[in-house]
Amino acid sequence: MSRLVEGEWVADADLETDDEGEFQRQEQAFRDRIGPDGDFPVEAGRYHIYISRACPWAHRVAMTRALKGLDDAISLSIVQPERYGEGWEFSDAHPDPLYGADYLRELYVRADPDVTGRPTVPVLWDRETERIVNNESEEIMRMLDVAGHELATRDVDLYPEGYRDEVDRLIDDIYEPINNGVYRAGFAESQGAYDRAVDDLFDALDHYDDLLADQRYLAGDRLTEADLAMFATLVRFDHVYHTHFKCNRRAIHEYDNLWEYTKDLYTTPGIERTVNMDHIVRHYYVSHADLNPKRLVPTGPDIDFTEGHDRDRLPGGPPEALQ
């Protein structure tokens, strides 16, 4: 878990766990906003997003950008899926288009020469001031969805009026046991910490499997930001979290409703192109040498996200602009 400390790169820093072996995710350092209530204006062509196709936090941002049709208004580039001792890096195939940086951490230091923390994705970058606007995925997703709506080419509202309190509640509710829960299990450094994480994770998955028996989406009949946050974990679950993070009590494709829901979201126009399973699998099994010392990459499971689903029987559906 290498990181920047006052702008200097420190390799092999301690894993972020507490005294009981519980994984602790860092607070992000850049929390400015785009929009009328923020410090940055809504302006096409001004902003750039750095992501990894492997990262679930970056994935929710990539899905929001794709669904709303922000490709021309906000540019995007990706880092290599494997992350070694130098952190996220660029390559000849996918270079940094703005500064020719070799590593993402160079952008963090350019934005703040004294920054401390792990350089993470996603990053929302302002070309004009050469600063990081924000590196918190939930906040970037919301900015693209709400503030970015005037730049969007599709009338897709993922935070609709009348649903907002429920969307906020759902995002909060699924974060700790599910989105972060797989990491709490995978990076636990004690049996007790692992057991608590796995119990929380599968209690929550069981709950949402029951909920989705009678409604198409988490908030009811509308696709929302909460579904994107959930999907980013579910689509990775069987290929990496089930085995690599020892979340093997049950696979998502063994759930009656969560599996159909996952396929429904995957086949929603715009989402499939944001999923790169090769990058996902390579990242987890190659990057975490402490969990997988030989860096062997498994070949399964053999599941098909496009095989069809039964969710059309329920009220609601994808936004009309996507149909």
> Which of the residues are catalytic?
55, 183
Residue with tokens 């046991």, as numbered in its chain: 177
Q: Is position 275 annotated in a ligand binding site?
A: no
* Annotated binding residue 190: no
Is 119 annotated to bind ligand? Answer: yes
Contact 64, 169 (CB under 8 A): no
The reply to whether 137 sits in an annotated binding site is: yes
| Bridge partners (DSSP) listed for residue 31 | 134
Is 120 marked within a binding site? yes
Overall size of the chain counted in residues: 323
- Beta partners for 76? 49
254 is in an annotated binding site: no
Task: Using alpha carbons, list the distances in angstroms from residue 277 to 13, 297, 299.
Answer: 29, 12, 11
Q: Do 184 and 23 touch, CB atoms closer than 8 A? A: yes
By C-alpha distance, which of 300, 299, 280 is closest to 288? 280
Annotated binding site for glutathione: 88, 118-121, 136-137
Per the annotation, where are the binding residues?
88, 118-121, 136-137
